[in-house]
Structure 1
Amino acid sequence: MNYQDSLKILEKLQGEASPFLSLEKVKKLLEALGNPHKKFNVIHVAGTNGKGSVVSKTARALRVSGYKVGSFISPHIECIRERVRVNDEYISEEDFARYFSFIHGRALQGKVAVSFFEMLFTLASVAFSDKQVKFACVEVGLGGRLDATNLVDPMLCIITNVSLDHQRILGNTVEEIAREKAGIIKEKVPVIAGSNLPKSIIAQVAKEKKSPLKIINVDNLEFTEANSILAIDALDFIAKKHPISADSYLAARTFSLPCRFEVLVGESLPEGSKVKALILDGAHNYDGLASLIFSAKKHFPEEKLYFLGNFSKLKERPEMLDLLKPHFEHFFILDYPHPRLMPAKETLEYFPQNKSSLVSASEEELLKVLLTEDLEGGVLISCGSFFFQSWIRNSLEKTGRSANASKAY
Structure 2
Amino acid sequence: MVNGLQGRLQDVADELVRSGAERGLQIAVYRHGELVADVVAGLADPATGRPVTPGTPFHAFSAGKGLTATVVHVLAERGALGYDTPIARIWPEFGAHGKDTATVRDALTHSTGVPGLPADLTPEDLCDWEKTCALIAAARPWWEPGTATGYHSYTFGHIVGEIVRRVTGTPVSQVLREEVAAPLGVAGELFLGVPEAELGRLARLEDVPGFAEAPEGSPALAVAPRGVRPTAAFGNRADVPSAAIPAGGQLTARAAARMYAALLGPVDGVRLISPDRLREVTAPVVDGVDRVFGNRAVLSNGYAVGRLGTDPDDTPTVFGWAGSGGSYAGADTATGVAFAVTKNRLAADFGTAQTIAALIAGAA
TM-score, L = length of structure 2:
0.29
- Say which structure is richer in helix: 1
Q: Relative contact order, CA 8 A, sep 6+: which one is greater?
A: 2
Higher Rg of the two aligned structures: 1
